[in-house]
Amino acid sequence: MVSDPRAVNARLRQVVAGKDELIGSLEELVGAQAGQLAGQAELIKTQSVLIERLGDEVAELKRQFDADSSNSSRPPSSDPPWSKKPAKQRSLRTSSGRKPGKQPGASSSSRSLVDDADETLEITPDRCESCDASLAGAAECGRQRRQVIDARPVPAPKVTEYQRISKVCSCCGRVTTAGWDDPAVPAEHAQVVSGPGSPVRIGPEALARAALLTCAH
């Protein structure tokens, strides 16, 4: 049976049209999916940047939380009580079992008595501890010495006042005032007195002692 060529052509045209429509739909679908993939890629990129930023913030917060006087410039007083480390062991030596101080049998050493004490006080018994008789005028049979070494009271400061005098000339009436650098001022005070500033000055000896106590002691 021979088919009608016109019918065959019509059928082929329908098939081709259907395929073209299907291809168009597929292309639209692919385009839509490509757009979705591009949006997802942009979203993933944004999320990656956000995750990295949050990671940096978490690391900084952890660093601040873990910071103490041992790994930062914070003072020890700022350390929380629960994070304070126990004190380091100062010595690795073990206990010998001996008592502290001078050991039995060891040679002793002490400060020697001086022969020219500044003050001597005699402690004399008044009555006999056996019969309660008076010991006034009794013969001395022994003497023990003990000395106490102590610091002397701090001496009061020496205050030297310099008075600069002004005088009126009886001839012309001009007022003349002596200079603070006048030769009448001793050499050790000349620079201190002549300099500008407060009328009360600290002398060179006091400054030298203050420097000695500050730097050497």
- Burial zone of 121 (CB within 10 Å; 0-12 exposed, 13-18 middle, 19+ buried): exposed
Residue 137, in any domain of the structure = no
**pLDDT at residue 84, as a whole number:** 62
Which residues touch 168 (CB under 8 Å, ≥6 apart)?
174, 175
CB-CB contact of 167 with 153 (8 Å)? no
Mean pLDDT by 10 residues, the chain (217 residues): 66 77 83 86 89 90 80 75 64 73 74 90 92 91 91 88 93 92 91 90 90 80
Q: Which two three-digit tokens encode residue 140? A: 């001395």
| pTM of this prediction exceeds 0.75 | no
Residue 148, in any domain of the structure = no
Residue 135, in any domain of the structure = no
Domain of residue 9, residue span: 1-67
**pLDDT at residue 3, as a whole number:** 58
Residue 127, in any domain of the structure = no
Alpha carbon distance 136, 124 (integer Å): 10
**pLDDT at residue 79, as a whole number:** 72
Residue 39, in any domain of the structure = yes
Which residues touch 127 (CB under 8 Å, ≥6 apart)?
133, 134, 135
**pLDDT at residue 34, as a whole number:** 85
What total of structural domains would you count in the chain?
A: 1
**pLDDT at residue 90, as a whole number:** 65
**pLDDT at residue 159, as a whole number:** 94
**pLDDT at residue 217, as a whole number:** 59
Which residues touch 102 (CB under 8 Å, ≥6 apart)?
108
Alpha carbon distance 100, 194 (integer Å): 60
